Amino acid sequence: MRSTSRRPIIKPMNPHRDERGVIISWLFKLVLFLSVVGVLVFDVGSILVNVFTLDSAADDTAIALSLIVDPAAVATNDQQVFQQAQLLVASDATLAGDATVVESGTHVDEQGVVHVKLRRVADTLVVEQFTALRKWARATAEGSASTK
């Protein structure tokens, strides 16, 4: 016995399909993707700017320090050179920002060359949140200038 009800093979078109969430879903995904990319670009840019500007600031600090320091008087006293470098960085005359002077790399050698070592941590959004990635945000730069 055959069934009298026939089901069509092709369903009739429904001109009123509910597609209201398609645009909102696509827009949400696009905004989320652009936000993630923006944060990554900001962090990478912040780290690169930190490295390059710190290198320039270390050279500027060494030049400014070479104009202040008398190599004959402080060749044996590196503590005075370190303190002078700290004062220069703190006065913001060298545009070093919030960099710190590293004592072990700041001195005047026998030839009368002033060596300055600076360290600074970049301001990031994601990198500073993870302990394993924090070393990427820390930059160290050395500058030197002759006192002669």
Read off the tokens for 23: 């645009």
Read off the tokens for 3: 């069934």
Total domains in the chain come to: 1
Task: Sort strands 100-101 and 107-108 into parallel, antiparallel or unpaired.
Answer: unpaired
Cross-strand partners of 146: 113
- In the block, which residue shows the tokens 């936000």? 35
In a domain, 128, yes or no: yes
Q: What pLDDT, in 10s, does the model give residues 71-119?
A: 666 555 788 888 888 888 888 777 787 888 998 888 888 888 889 999 9
Q: Which range is least confidently modeled, 19-23, 41-45, 93-97? A: 19-23
In a domain, 42, yes or no: yes
In a domain, 79, yes or no: yes
In a domain, 14, yes or no: no
Contact 147, 129 (CB under 8 A): no
Range of the domain at 34: 29-146
| CB atoms inside a 10 Å sphere around CB 108 | 25
* Mean pLDDT calculated for residue range 22-34: 90
What is the torsion angle, in degrees rounded to the nearest 10, for the CA atoms of residue 147, residue 104, residue 122 and residue 130? 170
pTM as predicted: 0.75
